[in-house]
Structure 1
C-alpha cells in the first residue's frame, strides 16, 4: 500500500514510526495528516488483535463519514482496498477489511457511557481536541488488550488544552508519538491552492491552520478587519446575484439583530443591511409576534434595496419560540449552525481574503466587529470563546455566513 499511495516522506515516516500505544497526527489543514493516519489505521486493522473491539470516534457520525469514510472509500486514494470498506452513513458499525468497527459520535460528556463495558483493541479518534476529556480517558482505560493502539488526529488548539497538557507535551514520559505537519509538508497540493489558503488566513488562524502551531486566542478576534478595506458605501455595480440569508440573533432583554447577506456578481459576500431593536434603549420588550411582524415589514422595504426574500433566514438555534412564530408567519426559518470557532474561522478567512464586505449602513455591526475580542480568562483554562459583550451583530453575521456555506463557497472559490 505504501508503494501505490501518493505519500510524502514525512507521511511515510509517520506510518512507520507510529508504534506507541497512542499516535497523534497534528498540524495544519490539508497537510496530509489524515491520509497518513488512515493508512496506519488500515494497516493496524489488518493485523489487529482478535480480542476486543475496534472503534472509530469523532464529534458526530456525520463528521466521521465525511472526514474518514469518504477518503477511505475513494479508489483514487486507497486503490482496491477501498472496496473492502463498507459503511452506510449513520450506521452504528462498519465492516473494514472483514472486521466489525463501531462508529461512535462523542460530541459532549454524555457520550462517555457509549463505551462503558467495552474492551477496545484499537481506536481511531478524529479531531481529538473536540472529544470530551472524560470520554478520551474512559476510552484509554478500556484499551487493556496486548498490542492495542489508539490513533488520532487534530488541528492545533489552545496550548492549555487538556490534550496538549496531558498528552502531546508528555512525549517520552507517556506512551505517545507526535507527528506534526504544516501545509507545506503536503507536496501534492496545487501551489495556487496553498497560496490561496495562506492569503485567506491571518493571525491566530494562520498560525494554527497554516503553520500548525498551538497558540492561544488573544486580542481581537477579527484581526484582519480594516475599516478602510472592508466598509463600502455602495453595493457592487454589477449587482447582487442572490440574497443568500438573513442572520438573526434573537434577544428580548438583549438587542435583537438581523443582518442581510448577499452574494455579489463580483464574487464577494456583502453584509448589505441590518435591522436592530434594543429593548433597553426604547424601554419596551417586544413579543415574538411583534418581532416577526416588524422584521417582515423591514424585508418588504429594506432601505436603499427594496423588497427582499432571502433564500434562508438563519436564526439563533436557542430561539425556539421565535422560530415557531416565523413558521406561523410563512417566513421559513433555518436554525443557524452555532459551531462558534468554525464559524469565526470562516468569517475571519473571508475578511482576510477581502471576500466579505460590510455596507456603511450596518453601523451597529461595524462597531461590534472592531471590538470583538477573545476571553483571556477562558483561554487560561484551555477554553476558547469570545467575550459575551456587544456581540449580537457579529453573531447574526456568523449565522448568516457559516450556515449557508454550500450556497456561496464554490462561487467565491475560497476554501472556507
Structure 2
C-alpha cells in the first residue's frame, strides 16, 4: 500500500475501514512523512492542519500517534492544549480544528495549506470539509483522510470515495491489524453475531446501513421519464429546523418511480418555490398535494402561495390541500413493502440529503423523517383505494 501511494505519487488518499484496523496510524505516518519531506517549501503563515470531529477528539485520537512517531524518529514533539490547540513536531507547527459544525470552517478560512489530515471524515459537516479542501493551495499539496464507514449514500462516499479518478482509496478490516489480540476480535464477533450489519460495517469496513435503520436497501436508478406523476409537499415553516420535502411519484404497473427534493428552508422561501416550480414543469406533474396546517379547502396561506405560483406557470396542475389523519411513523412503515420487494425506485438526482435521511431513519419520531413522510404520503395516495386512503388523509378538494 505504501509503495503504491509513493510509486503513483498519490496526493489525495483515503483510508477507509473497520475499527482498530491501523488506518489512523498510517494516516498520521503519511501526514508526518510528507510534512517533513517538504518543509523547505513552506512559507511563513503556511497553515498545515488536522481536521476532526472536534478539537478534543483530535487530542484523544491522534496526539498519541504523533508522539509515538516522533519518539521512533527521535525528533522533538511538543503538544499545546488551549482553545486553539496545536502541536509542534521537529519545530513545525500543526494546528488542530474541529469540523462537525458548519461554522467551524471560519477557523481556517483564508489560510493556505500544503499538508492536511482529515480524521474521522464521516463525522464532519459537508461544508466544513469543502472549505478545508479549498485551503490546499501550496504545492506539492497532500491530503489524507481516515474514516469509518457509514451508510452507502453518505456524502463522503458518494462525493469522495466514489470519485476514484481524484481520490485513491484503500480499504482496511480489523483483521488486517496484526497488533490486535485475537480475544478482542473474538469478543466482538460473539457480541454481535446476531447483527451482521454491525460486523460488516465495524469489523469489515463495509458501507452498509446501520443495524437499527429501518430501510437498509434503496434501489437507486439513473434515469426515468415521468409521464404524468403526482407530487406531495411536506412543508417546513421555519429555517434551520425541518426540511421542506417534495416527492414526485409515478406508478407503472406494480412499480413506483420517485424523485425527492428537500431543503432545510420554509416551503415559501423564494429559492424553494422557484425550485419546485422548475420540478413541476420538467417532470410533468398533474397534481400537487399540499400538507396545509391552516385549511384543507384552499384558504390556507401555504396553498394560496402555491396557487399563485401555478398561475405564473405555463403548465397547469391541480392542487389539493390536505392533512394526514394517521400517525406519521405508521405511514412511513407502509414503504417497507415496496422497498423490500424492489418495487420502489428512487432517481439518483434526488437530493443527497434525502438518501442520507432514509438510511438514517430509525423510527424514533424525532429526526430524518421529512423525505420519508413525503414519499410515504405520495405512495399511499397512489396505491390505496378511496376508502383506505380516507383513513390516512382528509378529503381532497381539488383547486
Query: Structure 2 length as normaliser, TM-score?
Result: 0.51
* TM-aligned CA deviation for residue 218 of structure 1: 6.3
For structure 1, the residue ranges without an aligned partner over 5 or more in a row are: 1-9, 224-370, 392-416
Change (3 A) 1:133 1:379: closer
1:373-412 matched pairs, under 5 angstroms: 380-383=354-357, 384-389=360-365
* TM-aligned CA deviation for residue 15 of structure 1: 5.8
The one-character-per-residue Cα deviations of 1:82-138 (angstroms, maximum 9, x if unpaired) are: 752211334432112211111111121111211211111111111011111111111
* 2:57 matched residue in structure 1: 63
1:126-141 matched pairs, under 5 angstroms: 126-141=119-134
* 1:21 matched residue in structure 2: 11
* 2:78 matched residue in structure 1: 86
* TM-aligned CA deviation for residue 200 of structure 1: 2.4
* 2:370 matched residue in structure 1: none
Residue 73 in 1 paired to residue 47 in 2?
no
Q: Indicate which of 143, 165, 178 corresponds to 1:187.
A: 178
SS in structure 2 at match of 1:53 = coil
* TM-aligned CA deviation for residue 18 of structure 1: 7.7
Deviates most, 136-145 or 199-208? 199-208
Larger Rg: 2
Q: Is the 8 A contact 2:70 2:89 kept in 1?
A: no
* 1:245 matched residue in structure 2: none
1:189-268 matched pairs, under 5 angstroms: 189-201=180-192, 202-217=195-210
The one-character-per-residue Cα deviations of 1:331-390 (angstroms, maximum 9, x if unpaired) are: xxxxxxxxxxxxxxxxxxxxxxxxxxxxxxxxxxxxxxxx9xx9x999852242422249
Looking at structure 2, the residues matched to 105 and 197 of structure 1 have their Cα atoms a distance apart, in angstroms, of 30
Q: CA RMSD in A?
A: 3.0
For structure 2, the residue ranges without an aligned partner over 5 or more in a row are: 217-332, 340-345, 347-351, 368-399
Q: How many equivalent residue pairs?
A: 226
The one-character-per-residue Cα deviations of 1:163-194 (angstroms, maximum 9, x if unpaired) are: 1111101112x2x1111001111122111111
Change (3 A) 1:191 1:379: farther
Looking at structure 1, the residues matched to 70 and 80 of structure 2 have their Cα atoms a distance apart, in angstroms, of 18
* TM-aligned CA deviation for residue 220 of structure 1: 5.8
Change (3 A) 1:73 1:204: same
Q: Is the 8 A contact 1:72 1:82 kept in 2?
A: no
Q: Is the 8 A contact 2:75 2:90 kept in 1?
A: no
SS in structure 2 at match of 1:119 = coil
Looking at structure 2, the residues matched to 162 and 186 of structure 1 have their Cα atoms a distance apart, in angstroms, of 27
